[in-house]
Amino acid sequence: MGTPVAVIGGGSFGTCLAMLCAREHDVRLWARDAAVVEGINRDRRNPRYLTQAEIPSAVQATSDLAEALSGAELVILSVPSHSIREVMLRALPAVSEEAILVSTIKGIEFETGMTMHQVLRDVLPEPHHPRIACLSGPSFAKEIAQQKNTVVTVACEEPAYAISVQSTLSCPWFRCYSHDDVVGVELGGALKNVVAIAVGMADGMEAGDNTRAALMTRGLAEITRLGVQMGANPLTFLGLSGMGDLVLTCAGDLSRNRRVGLELGRGRKLDDILADMGEVAEGVRTTRAICRLAERLEVEMPIAEMVRSVLDAELTPAQAGLKLMTRPLGAEHEY
């Protein structure tokens, strides 16, 4: 087997990528949950996530970060956005300076407004910075685990490292494209979850196909507007990590964020919805973080603000929809 790969995070996406890498590498998967570690090592099953997937023997789980990271030249990060800073501060002594770190996390840090790439640069010493990459695109973990054809983007400021990750992960049913627009790729992956909540709310209210199409299109305009302000290439948002991920997350039945929106649109309370899910819906935290960031950067994001107002119980979904539809009129390309 090739050089060991470390996967940090034992949720759905960490588990499916550990399975993917186990084709040609020994994989050490770190998880906080002792039941997840025991289940993988004993039963070849993750007892909490992707429970039907058989995990190859090349994957060994551990709750020891140093053990997971020892000798790893590729480190895949797949923990919730709100815990990445704490986990990486603990992991730092064990991370090799030669390791490429790949964030698969689709979120924004609430306290700082930082993307995951920015958080990692904030935590890790400068020698690590060129080797920080991100992976994003239309990819449900369940379908990756089932080896259904999936296409994603790997972005890194140093193209050689993106190409290295691309070569390691790609196989006949999982195809990676390389990219150098880290800001655009990360923002597309994070902000599509906000739009998916909005679309879910509309679907939950049976608002119709016209409404869904309008929210997706205008949502992409908001994502692009913020992205350009932060230095992204606007064309990035027409690619896999932009339009591709947006379409999947807004339309796919496996989308957790769309599910949150559906239940809100049907009149359920947010706390009850999240309590029933058992998995993180990153869009809830991202909505609040991105509205703060957009205000600071003076970027208008009315759909995101509408979603926030519903999450914070300031408006009902119907009231928020009416507020969007009665905003002052303007030209599409300027507004």
How far apart, in whole angstroms, are the C-alpha atoms of residue 164 and residue 298? Answer: 37
192 flagged as catalytic: yes
What is the DSSP pairing of strand 25-30 with strand 59-62? Answer: parallel
Structure tokens at 61: 């789980």
Q: Of 106, 142, 192, 269, which residue is the catalytic one?
A: 192
H or E, element range at 36: helix 34-43
Phi-psi region of 242 (alpha: psi -120 to 50; beta: other; left: phi over 0): alpha
Q: What is the DSSP letter of 242?
A: I
Residue among 34, 1, 204, 20 nearest 102 (CA): 20
E strand segments, 53-182: 59-62, 74-77, 100-103, 132-136, 150-156, 174-179
Structure tokens at 293: 């960031």
Cβ of 71: how many Cβ atoms within 10 Å?
A: 13
How far apart, in whole angstroms, are the C-alpha atoms of residue 283 and residue 258? Answer: 9
Q: What is the DSSP letter of 115?
A: B
Residue among 290, 263, 289 nearest 274 (CA): 263
b/e per residue 126-156 (b: at least 16 CB within 10 A): eebeebbbbbbbbbbbebbbeeeebebbbbb
Catalytic residues: 192
